[in-house]
Amino acid sequence: MMLVALLLALDVSPEPPPAVAPSGQGPIQAPAPPEPTEPPTPPGPKAAPKPRWAASGPWVPNAWPTRQVCGLDPVDAPWCLLVRADVFTGARVGTIGGAQQGEFRLDRAEAATGLLWKPATRLETGGIVAMESIRSAGPQSVTGIDGDSLVVRLLEAYGHAAAHFGPIDVGLRAGLIPERWIEQVEKGYDTRGFDALASDRVRMFDRADIGASVVVSGWDSRVDIDLEVVNGEGRAQRERNRGKNTTAMLTVRPVLREHASGPIVLALHGGFRDGSLGVASIADRRGAAAVSFASPWVYGGVEYVHALGYGGRGDLRANALGAWVSGRILPRWLGAMAKYDRVVFDLGAKDSAIHVVGGAVFSDVFEHVDRNRRRVRVYAGYQYEGYGRAAAPLPGATTAQDAHRFLLQLELRGLARIGPGRLTSTEARP
């Protein structure tokens, strides 16, 4: 249509001779023909936004502060309500210390809600509250509330804000905040439903503590600098000394590529914690390093944590090493994983290591790209836990015990986002 209008406007056909007015009054100009008008074009449907994946998400729930879980706009979509639930449950049969044992387990159950608000173009803020279920008896106890009932307690409860300055994103959290080391490394770990990371499994780092943290992230999460200051007593105790646990972390992602099915990311992590524990301010320091690779098809990584003071003893030197790999054999329907952890509770004692080896096959109901929004996964696998002669015993046991377990594990994860506005590019599916 525009081409036709242009040709009409530039018509080069010969002009007729000018008309001559009577009485020699000169030529009379012929009236110019009316310019063609273009009929209005009816508005068509808007093109679907092109998927764009942040370096650390949105296929994981913790892409903050670079990307929020919801696509927000200060005018059209200024707020969003989040509702999240995680359930890891299953059955285990095997032998512990030579005795046969079988049990149904609820390894993890969490429920969380939060509100995100975007008052300005470069600012988001909000709050998160998460609950978890735990056994009422402590790690070295056999009796808790009504035997050893499952009770519900706070896992996280904090306010947060994220500001954006060109390629730099700055995030602040305060309250009962998540442990940033576990949060960062789990971005490259896709089989949390089968077993926790080594540092999480033996509590080299507690999953949450009361305090504040700040992160400076640059160039779409290619570089993250984290600083965390917390009480150091975890979720189980109030502050019992004048010191605070201060953790500094650096995360670099030298490989970051976009793909229609999700990002491909190689991440390098390093951190150090200067901390103390209890009324006597017992040394509780950590040095940690990890390498992880994440893609829609394969995950893998190695984590190492060195402890200067552990388990309430400042003189102990301990470490934890974990390695994992998982991949998809058939898209969505069949995958396989393997994991190895080695924990040494006392580097000064011989044969004080615990080795945990596990492997499983798994099947998903939903596609990989929906990992953040929904997941239903079933694992079927085997796990061996072997204790050295000088290793710490299991709770309630007087000697170290080896364990062989066959597991059938169910992982249920869901995230609902409620709010005004359409999906943005951070939420669009390919």
Q: Where are the domains of the chain?
A: 79-137+157-418
For residues 257 and 114, which has the higher predicted lDDT (pLDDT)? 114
For residues 170 and 221, is the Cβ–Cβ distance under 8 A? no
Lowest mean pLDDT among 119-123, 256-260, 390-394, 408-412: 390-394
Confidence of residue 76 (pLDDT cuts 50, 70, 90): confident
Q: Mean pLDDT score of the chain, rounded to an integer?
A: 80
Dump pLDDT digits (tens) for 350-375: 878 889 999 999 998 887 766 667 88
Convert the chain into a string of H (helix), E (strand) and C (coil): CHHHHHHHHCCCCCCCCCEECHHHCCEECCCCCCCCCCCCCCCCCCCCCCCCCECCECCCCCCCCCCCCCCCECCCECEEEEEEEEEEEEEEEEEECCEEEEEEEEEEEEEEEEEEEEEECCEEEEEEEEEEEEECCCCCCCCECCECCEEEEEEEEEEEEEEEECCEEEEEEEEEEECHHHHHHHHHCCCCCCCCCHHHHCCCCCCEEEEEEEEEEECCCCEEEEEEEECCCCCCCCCCCCCCEEEEEEEEEEEEECCCCCCEEEEEEEEEEECEECCCCEECEEEEEEEEEECCCEEEEEEEEEEEEECCEEEEEEEEEEEEEEEEEECCCEEEEEEEEEEECCCCCCCCEEEEEEEEEEEECCCHHHCCCEEEEEEEEEEEEEECCCCCCCCCCCCCCCEEEEEEEEEEEEEEEECCCCCCCCCCCC
pLDDT at 339: 96
Interval 30-37 mean pLDDT = 53
pLDDT at 141: 62
Beta bridge partners of 130: 112, 156
Lowest mean pLDDT among 111-120, 139-148, 278-287, 317-326: 139-148
Interval 304-317 mean pLDDT = 86
pLDDT at 60: 57
- 360: its two tokens: 């499983």
Q: How many beta carbons lie within 10 A of that of residue 210, not counting itself?
A: 20
pLDDT at 36: 53
- Whether 87 has a pLDDT exceeding 80, the answer reads yes
Q: Is the dihedral of CA 51, 54, 60, 63 positive or negative?
A: negative
Q: Which range in 105-109, 205-209, 233-237, 285-289 is most confidently predicted, on average pLDDT?
A: 285-289
- 21: its two tokens: 């007015």
- Whether 303 has a pLDDT exceeding 90, the answer reads yes
Dump pLDDT digits (tens) for 394-419: 544 545 578 889 999 999 988 888 88
pLDDT at 199: 92
Of 206, 277, 272, 278, whose CA–CA distance to 235 is shortest?
206
- Whether 262 has a pLDDT exceeding 50, the answer reads yes
Q: Are strands 79-96 and 99-120 parallel, antiparallel or unpaired?
A: antiparallel
For residues 308 and 277, is the Cβ–Cβ distance under 8 A? no
For residues 381 and 358, is the Cβ–Cβ distance under 8 A? yes
For residues 133 and 279, which has the higher predicted lDDT (pLDDT)? 133
Distance CA(250)–CA(240), nearest Å, equals 29
Q: In Å, how far are 48, 78, 157, 160, 317 from 115, measured between CA atoms?
A: 26, 11, 12, 10, 42
pLDDT at 374: 82
- Whether 261 has a pLDDT exceeding 80, the answer reads no
Distance CA(137)–CA(143), nearest Å, equals 5
Interval 253-276 mean pLDDT = 87
Interval 317-328 mean pLDDT = 93
Q: CA 294: distance to chain centroid?
A: 12
- Whether 73 has a pLDDT exceeding 90, the answer reads no
Q: Which CATH number fits domain 79-137+157-418: 2.40.160.10, 3.40.50.300, 2.60.40.60, 3.30.930.10?
A: 2.40.160.10
For residues 35 and 9, is the Cβ–Cβ distance under 8 A? yes
pLDDT at 11: 43
- Whether 293 has a pLDDT exceeding 80, the answer reads yes
Q: State percent of the chain over pLDDT 90.
A: 38
pLDDT at 4: 39
pLDDT at 7: 37
Q: How far apart are the first and last CA of the chain?
A: 33
pLDDT at 25: 46
> What letters, b where the CB count within 10 A reaches 16 and e where it falls short, cover 412-425?
bbebebebeeeebe
Interval 121-131 mean pLDDT = 93
For residues 174 and 101, which has the higher predicted lDDT (pLDDT)? 174
pLDDT at 394: 52
Q: In Å, how far are 93, 104, 279 from 101, measured between CA atoms?
A: 6, 11, 39
* Max Cα distance, the chain (Å): 130
For residues 232 and 243, is the Cβ–Cβ distance under 8 A? yes
Q: State percent of the chain over pLDDT 70.
A: 79
